[in-house]
Chain A
Amino acid sequence: MKKAAMIVVILSMLVSLAACGGANETNNGTDNAAGQTGQNGEKSPLQISMTLMGGPKTPNAWSESALEADLEKNLGRKVDIQPIMLPGWDQVQTKINLLMSDKKSMPDVVWYLGSMTKEYDNWAKSGVLVDLLPYLQKDGKNILQYYSKETLFYSWDKTGKFYRLPGDVAEPSAMTTILRKDWMDKLGLKKPETVEEYIDVLRAFTNGDPDGNNKKDTYGLSGPTEWRSFAPILYAYKSDPENFMVQPDGTVKYGAILPQTKQALKVLQDMYKEGLIDPRMIANTDGTKFDEIVQQGKIGSFYRWIDYFNPSSIVAQGFKANNPSGELMYIDPIKGPDGFSSDYPEQTGGWCFISVTGKAEEPGEVVKVLNQMASPETYKLINFGRENEHYKIENGEFKTLVNPDESAKLGLGNFSWYISRKDEANIKNTPEVMELFKKRAETSQPLRELRVEFKSLDRPAWKEYSTDINKLRDQTFYGIISGKLSIDEFDKFVNQYYKMGGQQIEEEANRLYKEQKKEYEEYEKWYAEQIETNK
């Protein structure tokens, strides 16, 4: 009995002891760290803690020591990188929020998603982020030269400060209309240019038994369940149902309520009725699932990544393995009734960002480090390794010399999205793909000019009403395409839109659009003075 009582007591004491013990340890830890940097001053190694999201997230990896050595060589100072590996995509936002919730636990450099606008706004306003401008002007040449003026606009603060830098800006357009070339050849079809020609091709793909198995088991158009999958039709009709679009009179309107969207939906409805559209496209198909569908080889056309044309693409390899005679080709965007055509423009401002926090004792030195990481040589080193040791370039094509597991152990890619270079330093792209990216940058320009990419983080009406509106939009539009709803439902949706807060959203959007135009003019002036002269 006594023994038992003892167990209870000891166990409960253990809990409280462990708690206290832990607390003491951490306190000592921080004291020591602070003491060191304080005493030794300039000469001590520069310690930088940074949150990392990319690559295999290997702790104490080769890439880390290689980067440290590279930095010491180039900056003349010992640098100690202390990576904090962020968890997977589902939880990354939570983790960043927690780390940033307290000044003591903040990293020196924080990497975060572009969608975390509210958080960024918060951090900037409450003064936990460092204004990078003076440091960038002094030591940020690589960064300032690499990013375009338009891109940096989205990181610029109206007060003339820079609280963040884009971590990665996608290519201006990363997607293209794709067709089965072998099916085109077999059925004797010619490259479609207009919507009518494109639909004819889809019809032939659906009904002409292109895979020659005497079964009607092929579909013309397929894609993941998302609006840009319908790009060949929607964009040809100048309709982007997910964004605000500039009208001929200079105002902006939500793309989903424009009359051309109704026209495009009608076309899609007819296509669906005729069986040209894969029914999986209207529900429950995500990107991964769709990649499987592509590799099954029963789909004639889809709107997907340019990367499919890189020989190293997983999808390309799988497609070839499952369809030895299959071949994919890309075409320019389809032209609509009034000759308009465009590819899907990626965001100009970047999809992830990095900021230096107030925790960093020497922000200037931190910027030097970031700037060095943005140089083509260091970028290649930490992302691909050393030439002829980890990779080689053969006839302009990138060939890796390490197997995937070794590559993961080396931690190649650990520092991804710390100013990713998409130019020649991204040696993974083949020359053909590089060329295609350039071409799509041009062919996506028409929609980029029409579409509004809001810079403002303060959009209360949008935040309040868009969830309900977009739900109704998706219900109505997918209902129309699948034939469950008549095309007249579109007009009801437009009416409903204005009743559900669309009025406020539209006013807000127009106000922001005007302000943004003015702001951009200011920015251009500021850029010429502050950045151009320091590039």
Chain B
Amino acid sequence: MNKLTSGEKWFTVANYIFMILLIVIMVYPFWYITMYSLSDSKLAASGGLFLIPKGFSLASYQTVLGNVSFLSGFKVSVIVTVIGTLFATFFTATTAYAISKKRLRGKNFFTFLILFTMLFNGGMIPNYLLIKELGMIDSYWALILPPAIGAWNIFVMRSFFMGIPDEMEEAAKIDGASDLTIFFRIVLPLSKAVLATIGLFVAVGYWNDFFSTILYINDKEKWALQAVLRDIISNTSSALQSQGVSLGFQQEISESTVKMSSIIIATVPIMVIYPFVQKYFVKGVMIGSVKG
């Protein structure tokens, strides 16, 4: 591997240069948001590019972090994200594994049943009525269950399971292992990369979900973080103040600075899980686990 042809060398150099350019371009929106959020709201209001903060102020962070509903929202979101991710990833995997087996009778029927839910859904009101009939209004389950298992995730996970060589399972079968043993002892350990990936998607989905709160939660102390943040932004809307409405706040913050700091506050916690996910993207995971 260490002997690179000159073409490959050029490729490597070009690739690194390309990636550095990409980083610069891709980081910009977030850079903009960060710099805006740190700016003095009065100076920031003139807009522009924001390569550095205009003035400096942490007032918008104080407003968001100091909001009475922030902590409760954060707590709700963490609980829902952790439980929901474990729950959803596990059952997505079991479902995906079952329909990844060609020999399973009714496999095509089940697959189509699942695919159909990807394209058609009953709409908001029937979903609301269902949750109400299940008695889940104002409970964490209303935030955890409705978004939990999705067709897309099942199919993606299934396509990974199908990539596991049959020989491994055959060998286990000969040793007398049941499908359950194979699933838990062989398939899951071999699929850490896709479990981490789907887990990440699911976790981000839960973390960013505000709509379930809107639909199913009335008690503000049980609102998820994203719903709280949207509400804080909505309440600082300058358009409202213009109509002569007193919003009970003053000039250290503006709708825009609050919006920007909300994004930072909401994104940083979820970014913390990247390293855990990336750990599983290392090559040779499969072989390593089989040997172990």
Residues of A within 8 A of B (CB): 1, 4-5, 8, 11, 15, 18-27, 54-59, 61, 84-85, 87-91, 94-95, 97-99, 101-102, 105, 168, 170-171, 174, 287-289, 291-293, 295-297, 304-308, 312-315, 317-318, 320-322, 383-384, 400, 403-405, 407-410, 412-413, 416-417, 420, 422, 426, 428-429, 437
Contact = CB atoms under 8 A, between A and B. Distances in A.
Contact of A105 (B90, B132, B134): B132
B252 interface: yes
A91 B237 CA distance: 15
Contacts of B67: 56, 405, 408
Contact of B68 (A88, A296, A409): A409
The 5 closest A-B pairs by CB, nearest first: A23-B135, A88-B234, A404-B249, A321-B42, A318-B45
Given A20-B135, A87-B213, A87-B214, 17 more contacts: A1-B178, A22-B134, A23-B134, A58-B69, A88-B231, A88-B234, A95-B214, A101-B125, A295-B46, A306-B244, A313-B241, A314-B41, A318-B42, A322-B42, A404-B249, A408-B249, A416-B245
A94 B238 contact: no
B214 to A, nearest CB: 5
Given A59-B220, A317-B251, A18 B141 contact: yes
A57 B235 CA distance: 9
A11 B145 CA distance: 13
Most central of A88, A315, A384, A413 by chain B CB within 10 Å = A88
Nearest to A2: B180
30 contacts: A1-B178, A1-B180, A18-B136, A22-B139, A27-B135, A55-B235, A56-B232, A56-B235, A57-B69, A88-B234, A90-B230, A90-B234, A97-B125, A98-B125, A98-B128, A101-B128, A101-B129, A102-B132, A174-B244, A287-B239, A295-B46, A306-B244, A307-B242, A312-B251, A314-B251, A314-B254, A315-B45, A405-B66, A416-B246, A437-B244
B47 interface: yes
Contacts of A420: 245
Contacts of B139: 18, 22
Nearest to B188: A4
Interface in B21-50: 40-43, 45-48
A61 B124 CA distance: 31
Contact of B244 (A21, A296, A304, A307): A307
Interface in B217-257: 218-221, 227, 230-235, 237-239, 241-256
A289 B238 CA distance: 11
Contacts of B247: 55-56, 413
Contacts of B233: 88
Given A94-B214, A312-B250, A4 B180 contact: yes
B248 A57 contact: no
A94 B124 contact: yes
Interface in B125-178: 125, 128-129, 132-137, 139, 141, 145, 178
B121 to A, nearest CB: 15
A295 B178 contact: no
A364 B187 CA distance: 66
Contact of B252 (A18, A287, A404): A404
B12 interface: no
Contacts of A174: 242-244
Contacts of B183: 4
B238 A1 contact: no
B280 interface: no
**Range of interface residues on B (Cβ < 8 Å):** 35 or more
Contacts of A19: 134-136, 141
A16 to B, nearest CB: 10
Given A5-B180, A19-B135, A95-B214, A429 B244 contact: yes
Contact of B242 (A23, A99, A315, A383): A315
B94 interface: yes
B91 interface: yes
A429 B213 CA distance: 36
Nearest to B59: A404
B87 interface: yes
A141 B271 CA distance: 57
B15 interface: no
A321 B135 contact: no
B16 interface: no
Contacts of B42: 295, 317-318, 320-322
Contacts of A429: 244
Most buried by B among A5, A94, A314, A322: A314
Nearest to B252: A404
B116 interface: no
B208 interface: no
Nearest to B250: A404
Contact of B137 (A11, A26, A91, A407): A26
Given A5-B180, A88-B233, A291-B238, A404 B244 contact: no
B117 interface: no
Interface string B180-222: 1101100000000000000000000000001101110011110
Most chain A beta-carbon neighbours within 10 Å: one of B45, B94, B210: B45
A117 B152 CA distance: 38
Q: Which one of B40, B67, B136, B251 has the highest number of Cβ atoms from chain A below 10 Å of its Cβ? A: B251
Contacts of A408: 63, 66-68, 248-249
A404 B63 contact: yes
Contacts of B237: 89, 288
Contact of A87 (B87, B141, B219, B231): B231
B62 interface: yes
Contacts of B227: 87
Nearest to B139: A22
Given A322-B42, A407-B248, A15 B145 contact: yes
A287 B231 CA distance: 19
Given A11-B91, A405-B63, A413-B246, A321 B211 contact: no
Contact of A428 (B128, B133, B219, B246): B246
B244 A171 contact: yes
Contact of A11 (B40, B90, B181): B90
A296 B45 CA distance: 8
Contacts of A170: 243-244
A313 B242 contact: yes
Contacts of B232: 56
Contacts of A409: 68
A314 B43 CA distance: 11
Contacts of B241: 307, 313-314
B220 A85 contact: yes
Contacts of A313: 241-242
A59 B68 contact: yes
B248 A8 contact: no
A87 B132 contact: no
Nearest to B148: A15
The residue among B124, B139, B233, B253 with the most chain A CB atoms within 10 A of its own CB is: B139
Contacts of A1: 178, 180-181, 184
Nearest to B253: A404
Contact of A55 (B40, B46, B134, B248): B248
B244 A22 contact: no
A101 B137 CA distance: 14
Given A58-B68, A291-B45, A91 B134 contact: no
A321 B42 CA distance: 6
A322 B141 CA distance: 49
